[in-house]
Amino acid sequence: METKTIPNSKNGHSLNGINIDDIGDDHLFTSLDTPMKENAFEMSNEEKKKRIAILFTEIMDVLGLDLTDDSLQGTPDRVAKMYIEEIFSGLDPKNKPKVALFDNKYQYNQMLVEKDITFYSNCEHHFVPITGKAHVAYISSGKVIGLSKLNRIVQYYAKRPQVQERLTQQIANELKTVLETEDVAVIIDAKHLCVSSRGVKDNTSATVTTYYGGKFNTAEKINELQNYINN
Ligand SMILES: [Zn+2]
């Protein structure tokens, strides 16, 4: 099979002969920030949906599908709407959850854990689902946020083309910023459909990624956290 070598990255660095299949199959990623164009939000959402529908029609047509069939006719519009309003809505900073902090001196120094947050994301290398659970925790600096906000932060970053390591880091960074503390932990346990349904076709493996910041970075705290999560 012919594979394409990526010519040069945008910084002008060569990728040392790594080809596009290696990047996808090994799930390599290049930066903590989701790579976005500078003018990513010049086009309105309505225009984006129109463009995506036209382009998706083209993909379906090339695949040989009959777009006059009643079942397929509306698919390009449905896909476009789903991309912009649902599964990739986390690309738009306007959709970032607004988080209010509350003072709560009684919870000072306590560990708060929100476990088993189910999320659905998509692999940025293959555009097929990543599904899993996120467990997030923080040690209160005297400030707390509503538990539902922890869930919303996870969902916001999941609704992007993602790689699991970056998702973990982006959630951790956001928690550190909103909670004004380094003491946050994020554990993500997920399945990648690009691994289970194609490529190596392994449908039992799961990938676990972790971030332990500040006071979480000790064996004792990691144990304590693991106990909460496993019980
Ligand atoms: Zn993938």
The CATH number for 220's domain is 3.30.1130.10
Q: How high is the pLDDT of residue 133?
A: 97
21 belongs to a structural domain: no
pLDDT per position as a tens digit, 186-219:
999 999 998 877 777 777 788 999 999 999 999 9
Percent of the chain topping pLDDT 90:
71
194 annotated ligand binder: yes
13 belongs to a structural domain: no
- Let me know whether 106 and 80 are in one domain: no
- Torsion angle (degrees, nearest 10) of CA 146, 231, 226, 97: -20
**Residue entry with tokens 């599908």:** 65
How is 112-135 classified by DSSP, letter by letter?
EEEEEEEEEEEETTT--EEEEEEE
- Let me know whether 114 and 83 are in one domain: no
The catalytic site residues sit at 123-126, 164, 192, 194
pLDDT at 14 over 80: no
Domain containing 82 equals: 31-87
Q: How high is the pLDDT of residue 203?
A: 75
Tell me the CA–centroid distance for residue 28 and ligand 1, in Å.
10
Tell me the CA–centroid distance for residue 164 and ligand 1, in Å.
10
Domain termination residue (choose one: 63, 87, 111): 87
- DSSP secondary structure code for residue 183 in this structure: -
123 annotated ligand binder: yes
CA distances to 29, 157, 167 from 211, rounded to whole Å, are: 17, 15, 11
pLDDT at 166 over 90: yes
- Ligand 1 ion: Cβ-proximal residues, 5 Å cutoff: 123, 125-126, 194
The CATH number for 54's domain is 1.10.286.10
Q: How high is the pLDDT of residue 13?
A: 47
- Let me know whether 71 and 127 are in one domain: no
- Let me know whether 171 and 110 are in one domain: yes
- Let me know whether 119 and 38 are in one domain: no
Which is it for the CA torsion 112, 115, 117, 122, positive or negative?
positive
Tell me the CA–centroid distance for residue 1 and ligand 1, in Å.
19
114 belongs to a structural domain: yes
22 belongs to a structural domain: no
- Let me know whether 107 and 199 are in one domain: yes
146 belongs to a structural domain: yes
- Let me know whether 147 and 200 are in one domain: yes
Residue range 23-31: average pLDDT?
A: 71
Residue range 21-47: average pLDDT?
A: 85
Q: How high is the pLDDT of residue 18?
A: 65
Tell me the CA–centroid distance for residue 221 and ligand 1, in Å.
32
Q: How high is the pLDDT of residue 204?
A: 76
- Let me know whether 130 and 218 are in one domain: yes
**Contact of 158 with 143, CB cutoff 8 Å:** no
- Let me know whether 106 and 67 are in one domain: no
Domain termination residue (choose one: 87, 112, 127): 87
135 annotated ligand binder: no
- Let me know whether 47 and 129 are in one domain: no
pLDDT per position as a tens digit, 86-124:
999 999 999 999 998 888 877 778 899 999 999 999 999
- Let me know whether 224 and 117 are in one domain: yes
Tell me the CA–centroid distance for residue 198 and ligand 1, in Å.
9
* Structural domain total, the chain: 2
Domain termination residue (choose one: 64, 87, 110): 87
204 belongs to a structural domain: yes
- Let me know whether 72 and 126 are in one domain: no
pTM over 0.85: yes
40 belongs to a structural domain: yes
127 belongs to a structural domain: yes
Residue range 25-39: average pLDDT?
A: 82
Tell me the CA–centroid distance for residue 38 and ligand 1, in Å.
25
CA 166 from chain centre, in angstroms, equals 7
pLDDT per position as a tens digit, 42-96:
999 999 999 999 999 999 999 999 999 999 999 999 999 999 999 999 999 999 9
